[in-house]
A and B are shown apart, each in its own frame.
Chain A
């Protein structure tokens, strides 16, 4: 007679055998993924297969260009490259990376958003050799890209071209001319050599507010999100920094209670009064929709809104001009969100992965990627800003020429200069937009709001 115990043991043996077979199959990869012509001839590493988990680009065709670049490299080097395009909708890209980091298994190369290098740095392979080679060929990388990816002197990831962006102003040429007598194109022409310094210097937060008031009266308010998503957090961070407000410095000193913070909050309160309706609940599509609808006069965003307007409302697109952020008392700052390629330290094919990362970020491939995204993707190397794409896309011709910083704009990110593990909390818990909403919408006193922020900052420091 077969006892229940025997039956369970038998079932266990079958299950273990099944799992063993599965693991063996999985290690070898599916039959279709095996290199056919050269199963074990590799010039770049120890194995013949590389897997990538990268962001699913919103621009049609951009994924195809990245696939082509990777496949060309794979064919040349006899490596079978498999790419999974992972959407950022519902933060699926972040969840996938977190799951892989916890499970210590997954893709060889994973694309990460700005703050995720800080999060996963303990399980990311140092990439100094890749960075050194790129810097040698193409010059320095943006300071914000370095700030977000370099820990204890080691680069933990390489800034990717795909997905990296800044969020300058995108304004309506016609509305600014008609209602404010401001010629945006004259201030920021599609040639930095033709810029008039006095005009550029005059484009500051005060002028931005006075024009915003005029546009509000005319029925075309600016559209500045004030919710708790990235677009809101980014432009507000640039505003605070241009007023010189620092929340926590690099040595963990809490400095939020300052005259600079008060000045920024007072300014923001006035600006919110002439902002579009509903901005406290806008997600990252809110400002895009506002501009595309024809009701909005200016937003702060990559050229995605313009690109969609080109398709959905061409008359609006013809009047859009991307240009520098307003200047504040302490400078002009553009919100920068570099994305990265990381190689897991537990990966099995690290040398090949590093070579592929280098290939993807190298200038010829970057040029193709920028073209495929109609100029949306912004590399972290200033020497790449000479790509034709930003000169040639239209309408109007030169509309995104000033998307890469051409003048005195410094790149910035909300939370800087606090240590990234602290700054990520300032950023992701949207403390600055909540402060403005408390003052402008909730009617709370600035002193009370700063006290609240101070308490939040103390909490951010504790959990490091």
Chain B
């Protein structure tokens, strides 16, 4: 009788068990979704632990009173809307972020074209050099800029003085201070646009330009009717990404001006720090830092929807 028992019902030997397990794991690993999930797991953990959880916690904090003992709903936001300084910060943040992103995009696209038209031999060197501002830690490079723009011992002013030029109040006069914070942001962020646009430029089929040339298109017409439409998705994603990051900027203003003079360079993050950490009102600080979240969130949805639609058309 025992001879008729199928082999699979008998307790398997260790070698067989090992073989079966190997087989199962092999099949599991062959599943593309499992593999993808496993590869994404570390990133998901980081995103969950360092982005999603803090964001949810910040939202929770923003709904509490100053001492974090009572739930007050949107009370902090309602209060902020009545404050003149808050609206000044909103205005400055918008000026800072929009101007910086537009300038970064312009500098990026112009530089990308220039680099793209360089001979292949020297192009790599230029690409590397132009990326330097982007790879230096921001607070460190901003400190360098602070020394260049120092209110009393500015290196730029020293140079101007050598040619009998004017002494410019880089950081001590509101409009100059605004200009300087934007300048440093553009200096730091433009290489990101450059590299993205350069990659996009290289993916535009050469035949399109050749066809346009046969039709007698000028350089401007080629840019307007071929390059720009072909780069639209990259431009949209780059601008969106940069807008989010620039609205959240902290280092530049903190190091250069601390929000001064006269609160004129405060942006969301620096003012949130003043309120939340320095003045001990963490819920109000959280509310300030979250103010742009819904606006940027909705913008992101629309921009990404456009990108997806154009992707399908292609």
Contacts and interface: CB of A to CB of B under 8 A. Distances in A.
Interface of A: 1-4, 7, 90-91, 94-95, 98, 102, 115-116, 118-120, 122, 226-229, 276-283, 286, 289-290, 293, 421, 424-425, 428-430, 434, 437-438, 441-442, 452, 455-456, 459, 462-464
B107 to A, nearest CB: 26
9 pairs of A and B residues whose beta carbons are closest in the complex:
A278-B151, A119-B280, A281-B171, A281-B172, A1-B24, A281-B151, A280-B261, A280-B172, A428-B278
Nearest to B69: A122
Contact of A278 (B34, B66, B171): B171
16 contacts: A98-B282, A228-B259, A277-B172, A278-B169, A280-B261, A281-B170, A281-B171, A281-B172, A281-B260, A281-B261, A421-B280, A424-B278, A424-B279, A428-B274, A429-B279, A459-B79
Given A1-B28, A281-B257, A462 B79 contact: yes
A120 B278 CA distance: 11
Contacts of B110: none
A2 B24 contact: yes
A289 B258 contact: no
A453 B38 CA distance: 57
A428 B279 contact: yes
A372 B28 CA distance: 66
Contact of A438 (B257, B262, B277, B282): B262
B280 A424 contact: yes
Interface core residue of B139, B170, B171 (most chain A CB under 10 Å): B171
A100 B262 CA distance: 32
A463 B76 CA distance: 9
B279 A94 contact: no
Given A228-B260, A281-B172, A281-B260, A289 B279 contact: no
B28 A2 contact: yes
Contacts, number: 127
B113 interface: no
Nearest to B266: A228
Contacts of B25: 2
B262 A442 contact: yes
Contacts of B67: 122
A227 B284 contact: no
A365 to B, nearest CB: 30
Given A226-B261, A279-B151, A441-B262, 9 more contacts: A4-B28, A118-B280, A280-B172, A281-B261, A425-B279, A429-B85, A437-B262, A459-B82, A463-B284
B84 interface: yes
B151 A286 contact: yes
A278 B281 contact: no
B139 A286 contact: no
Contact of A277 (B79, B167, B257): B167
Given A1-B28, A429-B279, A442-B262, A456 B85 contact: yes
B123 interface: no
A463 to B, nearest CB: 5
Interface core residue of A102, A289, A437, A455 (most chain B CB under 10 Å): A437
B177 interface: yes
Majority SS at the chain A contact face: helix
Nearest to B149: A281
A280 B280 contact: no
B102 interface: no
Contacts of B280: 115-116, 118-120, 421, 424
B263 A228 contact: yes
B21 interface: yes
A226 B152 CA distance: 13
Nearest to B83: A459
B266 to A, nearest CB: 9
A276 B152 contact: yes
B277 A277 contact: no
Contacts of A4: 28, 31, 34, 37
Contacts of A286: 151-152
Contacts of A278: 150-152, 169, 171-172
Interface in B48-96: 66-67, 79, 82-85
A421 B275 CA distance: 12
B153 interface: yes
A276 B150 CA distance: 13
Nearest to B280: A119
B27 interface: yes
B84 A279 contact: no
Contacts of A463: 66, 79, 281, 284
A227 B152 contact: no
A47 to B, nearest CB: 29
A329 B167 CA distance: 38
A238 B79 CA distance: 31
Nearest to A229: B258
A227 B34 contact: no
B226 to A, nearest CB: 46
B234 to A, nearest CB: 35
Contacts of B169: 277-278, 280-281
Contacts of B279: 115, 119, 424-425, 428-429
A227 B34 CA distance: 57
Contacts of B167: 277
Nearest to B154: A278
Interface core residue of B139, B150, B254, B275 (most chain A CB under 10 Å): B150
Contacts of A464: 66
